[in-house]
């Protein structure tokens, strides 16, 4: 039997498994990352990679609020758009955050800030035009905050949350082309 493993960060706040890999950064010594947020306690941390298993982790602010959210991302495929729904926890700026600010923060996170392999968990690499870290290869469409107990395995809920992925009307207008949807967890 053959096995393999990945290297994940242990959260400096709760000393539990944070859910965040760092081994994909080993080929780029000096890489700085973060803030990332622990999947267990929500604590924020950042760090740098000097080489394989040579990782520095620093605590960041601990007074942040997170909400469970579903983000709809789109890839223009050869047979029409393909949608990805990413189940994630987003940082909330607080009660004063407008819907436009929330959309802007999430668009930035998915299109510019984060590595796609961080939220496409089973994807080993994303390569676009020779770039092994192509931030923004999926277009951010929209995000919806959901309850903590939201059932992401229920197919009936996706057309309600994201009608644009099913040629339905949205607040912003109508989508005309038939589409496919891929539900993912991030």
Model confidence at 83: pLDDT above 70: yes
Residue 130 forms beta bridges with which residues? Answer: none
Which one-letter DSSP state was computed for residue 131?
A: B
Name the more confident of 56 and 42: 56
Averaged pLDDT score across all residues of the chain: 80
The residue extents of the domains of the chain are 8-59, 65-185
Q: 0.85 cut: is pTM over it?
A: no
Reduced to 3 states (helix: H, G, I; strand: E, B; else coil), residue 183 is strand
Mean pLDDT for the stretch of residues 57-67: 78
Percentage above 90 pLDDT, the chain: 14
Q: How confident is the model at residue 58 (pLDDT cuts 50, 70, 90)?
A: very high
DSSP string, 117-170: HHHSTT-S---BTTBSS-TTSSEEEEEEE--TT--TT-GGGHHHH-GGGGT-EE
Reported confidence tier of residue 62, pLDDT bands at 50, 70, 90 = low
**Which pLDDT tens digit goes with each residue over 140-170?**
999 988 888 888 887 888 888 899 888 755 5
Write out the two tokens for 139.
Answer: 């277009």
pLDDT band at 57 (very low <50, low <70, confident <90, very high): very high
- DSSP conformation letters of 5-20: ---EEEPTTT-SEEEE
Q: Which of 44, 159, 149 is nearest to 90 (CA)?
A: 44
More confident residue, 93 or 36: 36
Helices vs strands, H then E, count in the chain: 3, 11
């Amino acid at each position: 039997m053959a096995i393999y493993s990945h290297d994940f960060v242990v959260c400096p706040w709760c000393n539990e498994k944070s859910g965040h890999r760092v081994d994909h950064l080993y080929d780029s010594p000096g890489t700085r990352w973060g803030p990332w947020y622990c999947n267990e306690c929500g604590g924020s941390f950042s760090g740098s990679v000097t080489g394989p298993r040579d990782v520095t982790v620093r605590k960041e602010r601990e007074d942040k609020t997170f909400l469970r959210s579903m983000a709809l991302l789109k890839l223009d495929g050869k047979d029409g758009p393909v949608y990805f729904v990413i189940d994630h926890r987003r940082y909330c700026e607080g009660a004063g955050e407008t819907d436009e600010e929330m959309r802007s923060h999430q668009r930035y996170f998915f299109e510019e800030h984060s590595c796609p392999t961080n939220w496409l968990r089973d994807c080993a690499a994303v390569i676009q035009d020779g770039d092994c870290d192509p931030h923004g290869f999926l277009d951010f469409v929209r995000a919806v905050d959901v309850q903590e107990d939201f059932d992401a395995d229920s197919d009936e809920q996706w057309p309600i949350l994201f009608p644009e992925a099913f040629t339905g009307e949205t607040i912003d207008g109508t989508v005309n082309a038939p589409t496919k949807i891929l539900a993912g967890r991030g």
